[in-house]
A and B are shown apart, each in its own frame.
Chain A
Amino acid sequence: MNYFPDEVLEHVFDFITSHKDRNSVSLVCKSWYKIERYSRQRVFIGNCYSISPERLIARFPGLKSLTLKGKPHFADFNLVPHDWGGFVYPWIEALAKSRIGLEELRLKRMVVSDESLELLSKSFVNFKSLVLVSCEGFTTDGLAAIAANCRFLRELDLQENEVDDHRGHWLSCFPESCTSLISLNFACLRGEVNLGALERLVSRSPNLKSLRLNRAVPLDTLQKLLMRAPQLVDLGIGSYVHDPFSEAYNKLKIAIQRCKSIRSLSGFLEVAPHCMSAIYPICGNLTFLNLSYAPGLHGNKLMKLIQHCRKLQRLWILDCIGDKGLGVVALTCKELQELRVFPSDPFEAGNAAVTEEGLVLVSAGCPKLNSLLYFCQQMTNAALITVAKNCPNFIRFRLCILDPIKPDPVTNQPLDEGFGAIVQSCKGLKRLSLSGLLTDQVFLYIGMYAEQLEMLSIAFAADSDKGMLYVLNGCKKLRKLEIRDCPFGDAALLEDVGKYETMRSLWMSSCEVTLGGCKSVAEKMPSLNVEIIDESEQMEFNLDDKQKVDKMYLYRTLVGHRKDAPEYVWIL
């Protein structure tokens, strides 16, 4: 089999970068496995409990970049208790003890303590990049340690984390000798920052390409920063409130015009809408615009801004854009690939929310659309069928009707046919989220047509176990299934337990599965961890197998039961 020396194969493998492909390569034969594991630098672990740090280190001694994900997706919506798990400390501890020269760490939905950040900052001389997404458990003290100790830091990217802000000093902890920053994103921090330190840091970072500021950075500082970093490619504006007749505003206009490389714009965490014209000069080159944190921007001002953005490929917006505004998007943004429309008033039916009309307009005007997240007032089957026809290239289709069991308001029918059209037309669909009134029928369609589907999110849908069975039987590539408030019980859960070993995880909450059913799965499949999350303490007193389980999370693992589960988590 092996006609080439190892070095040649290694060189060939260098060109193979996708995790999936490298995994496949390692399965070909023993020698390829060996060569691949020694040359592997980047590892992605989708569930931190599926493997242990020791085994990771043993297999990939050349590891430089590690991506870890912790809590299940529904943790984003407060369905998972805070201390359920996903602690990064053991990983950092193990890596620190080993000879691994870690350079990059990317974490999502993990619990990160200041201790772990400090240990991280002191243990890896060449550490370059820290990306934390939807994490929690740390304070700005931990960030101070990273700033102070990581001499060659290139990237510090904090996205939507819950950070206890001890106010401002962490930025001053970057030493004068630190000039290597390429990316700095602290938009999610709520506290004050030392503006002088920020200005000096940006001044001495000639390679800075991405800068996302938090709310506490005022306009005049923004102007100074832009003057010092006209090479920025990605900008996140903090506060954008000022007097349009002021000197600061004039200076800002000049500064922005110098920034000819900006392709991505976000933030506007505080915004005075009458001052958006200063931004127009850079709009024509934007490929990504994120206004989802700017509820103050709507109506004509918003539409005018969008009309300048002809090259937009990704747009994240609030639903106060309205259907009319989406019409403007449809006319202007012909290169649009990804659209996310977030609710500005999730619990109150907003008067400027979007409906099926806006979506239809965008689908007609933007033929390259392939990724959608859409929170809306209502949806019709007719609209979904039209969208499916207009945009057969969807990879991600996530629809959230704010009233979760709302039928088609025109026909009063469930939305089965509409979603059915989507899965039938979009042959490359990998991710789907459903909402609205749905029966078992939609799942029949999904099982039949969604051949590439990898992730499915279901809420308040279906009539019976058949729904879940259609999906489990039909979707061969399914990796993640998350279900809440559906009438799926033990019969569906137990039909094909072997299937779960081919998937990363299954989440079921407020369904009909019983303790007995879950125990049965655990018994039959030792390669799965079956967790019952029950904060109400019912489980302690009532171990009746017929008891319905409130929250069940099961996932495949190579390392058995985890040892760090809190009291209210039972691993069967």
Chain B
Amino acid sequence: MSSENGKRLLETDAGGLNFEATELTLGLPGEPRVTSDGGAKLGSKRGFSETVDLKLGDNNREVKLGHSLQEAAKSPVSKTQVVGWPPVRGFAKRGKKSCKYVKVAVDGAPYLRKVDLEIYNSYQQLLTSLEDMFSCFTIRNYLNEKKIEQVNGIEYMPTYEDKDGDWMLVGDVPWQMFVESCKRLRLMKSSEAVGLGLTTGPKYSSTN
């Protein structure tokens, strides 16, 4: 989405310094682009572009921008990084690269939650955690064939949307495969699920 915007801007602006087109955003794809007109909250998501904008009108200043920044500013792609900045060694190892947050929706709840699938090692841990999170609901636990205490009489089936956009029952594939393919979770009311014919349990137990 943001690259489309970028293209449009490039086309409409024929000559001169088109800082908007070269505007870098550090936001996630799909999020509204933060502009430099003061609409942006101070301190949030300011990219190189905004500081480049601040130098507009001062031609001397513009020349003195380091080469690397000039290079970065020229690129129309929404996310460009300057080599070696920020100066962190092996940041990839510390950063959130190895965490996978997915949204969790529960039928009937007014808000969603997010969980990081990377911190769990098994379906059992995930379901236990989800139970903690949504303690007013009970989750049908196929995996050990045991029924959890029903609090308000409603059971939920854990389902997830996979990479292909299909809704699957949690527990059929090996844990790691699930982590990789899961895009979001939905705790579906059991009554609805029965209608879908999801009566047989999943193939993989909590030890996988």
**Residue positions of A touching B, CB distance < 8 A:** 74, 76-79, 134, 160, 241, 243, 270-274, 292-293, 295-296, 318, 342-349, 351, 355, 375, 377-378, 400, 402-407, 409-410, 412, 433, 437, 457, 459-460, 462-463, 484-487, 510
Scan B48-90; emit 1 where CB is below 8 A from any A CB, else 0: 1011001000000001111111000000000101111111111
- Cα A349 to Cα B109 in complex, Å, equals 30
Q: Is B106 an interface residue (CB 8 A)?
A: no
Complex: A72 Cα to B28 Cα, angstroms: 34
Q: What are 20 A-B pairs with beta-carbon distances under 8 A?
A: A76-B87, A79-B84, A160-B89, A160-B90, A293-B94, A296-B119, A349-B26, A349-B45, A349-B47, A375-B86, A375-B88, A377-B44, A400-B86, A403-B46, A404-B82, A405-B69, A406-B51, A407-B51, A485-B69, A487-B64
Seed contacts A160-B89, A348-B28; 19 additional CB < 8 Å A-B pairs? A241-B125, A272-B119, A272-B120, A273-B119, A296-B118, A342-B88, A342-B94, A343-B86, A343-B88, A347-B79, A355-B43, A378-B43, A403-B46, A403-B47, A409-B43, A410-B42, A486-B66, A487-B63, A510-B66
Q: What is the CA–CA distance of A349 and B28 in the complex, to the nearest angstrom?
A: 10
How distant is the Cα of A370 from the Cα of B127 in the complex, in angstroms? 46
**Contact flags B95-110 to A (C-beta < 8 A → 1, else 0):** 1101100000000000
Q: Which residues of A contact B50 (CB under 8 A)?
A: 403
Given A296-B119, A406-B46, A484-B68, A134 and B26 contact (CB-CB distance below 8 Å): no
| A77 with B87: CB separation less than 8 A | yes
Q: List CB contacts (< 8 Å) of B99-147 with chain A.
A: 99, 116, 118-121, 124-125, 128-129, 132
- The complex places the Cα of A378 from the Cα of B43 at a distance, in Å, of 6
Which 7 interchain pairs have the tightest Cβ spacing? A485-B66, A77-B84, A349-B45, A76-B89, A510-B67, A487-B64, A79-B84
Compute how far the CA of A321 lies from the CA of B70 in the bound complex, rounded to whole angstroms: 33
For residue A433, which residues in chain B have a CB less than 8 angstroms away from its CB? Answer: 87
Distance to closest chain B CB from A491 (angstroms)? 15
The answer, yes or no, to whether B93 is at the interface (CB within 8 Å) is yes
Q: Chain B contacts of A375 at CB under 8 A?
A: 86, 88
B27 at the interface (CB under 8 A from A): yes
A2 CA to B121 CA in the complex, in Å?
71
Do B27 and A348 touch (CB < 8 A)?
Answer: yes
Residues of A with C-beta under 8 A to B45: 348-349
* Nearest-CB residue, chain A, relative to B60: A463
Nearest residue in B to A461 (C-beta to C-beta)?
A: B66
Minimum distance in angstroms from A292 CB to a CB of chain B: 6
A296 touching B99 in the complex, CB below 8 Å, given contacts A342-B94, A510-B67: yes
- A343:B95 contact, CB within 8 angstroms: yes
Contact B46 A271 (CB under 8 A): no
A346 to B85, CA, bound (A): 8
How far, in whole Å, are A271 and B121 apart by their CA atoms in the complex? Answer: 11
By a CB distance below 8 angstroms, the chain A residues around B125 are 241, 243, 272
Q: Which of A134, A344, A404, A486 contacts B94 (CB 8 A)?
A: A344
Whole-angstrom distance between the alpha carbons of A349 and B64 in the complex? 25
Nearest to A316 among chain B residues (CB) is B94
Contacting A295 at CB < 8 Å: which of B46, B66, B99? B99
Q: Which residues of B contact A405 (CB under 8 A)?
A: 48, 51, 65, 69
Q: How far is the CA of A78 from the CA of B65 in the complex (A)?
A: 21
Q: How many Å from the CB of B187 to the closest CB on chain A?
A: 20
Contact A403 to B51, CB < 8 A, known contacts A295-B94, A510-B68: yes
A293 to B98, CA, bound (A): 11
CA gap between A347 and B97 in the complex, in Å:
11
Give CA–CA (A347, B28) in the complex, Å. Answer: 10
A residues within 8 A CB of B98?
A: 295
Bound-complex Cα distance A347 to B128 (A): 33
Complex interface: chain A residues within 8 A of B88 (CB) = 77, 342-343, 346, 375, 400
Measured between C-beta atoms, what is the minimum distance from B103 to chain A in Å? 16
CB pair A485 B91 closer than 8 Å: no
- Bound form: Cα–Cα A74–B83 in Å: 11
Q: How distant is the Cα of A351 from the Cα of B91 in the complex, in angstroms?
A: 18
* Docked CA distance A378–B42 (Å): 9
Q: Measured between C-beta atoms, what is the minimum distance from B113 to chain A in Å?
A: 14
**Contact (Cβ within 8 A) B120 A241:** yes
Contact A344:B79 (CB < 8 A) given known A409-B43, A510-B68: no
**CA distance in complex: A404, B82 (Å):** 10
B12-44 contact mask (Cβ, 8 Å, vs A): 1 or 0: 000000000000001110000000000000111
Which of A270, A342, A462 lies in contact with B119, CB distance below 8 A? A270
Q: Which residue of A lies closest to B81 (CB)?
A: A347
Q: Which of A78, A344, A349, A487 has the most CB of B within 10 A?
A: A349
> Smallest CB–CB gap between A278 and chain B, Å?
16
Q: How far is the CB of B62 from chain A (nearest CB, A)?
A: 11
Q: Give the chain B neighbours of A295 by CB distance below 8 A.
A: 94-96, 98-99
Cβ–Cβ contact A346 & B120, under 8 A? no
Contact of B43 among A78, A377, A460, A487 (CB under 8 A): A377
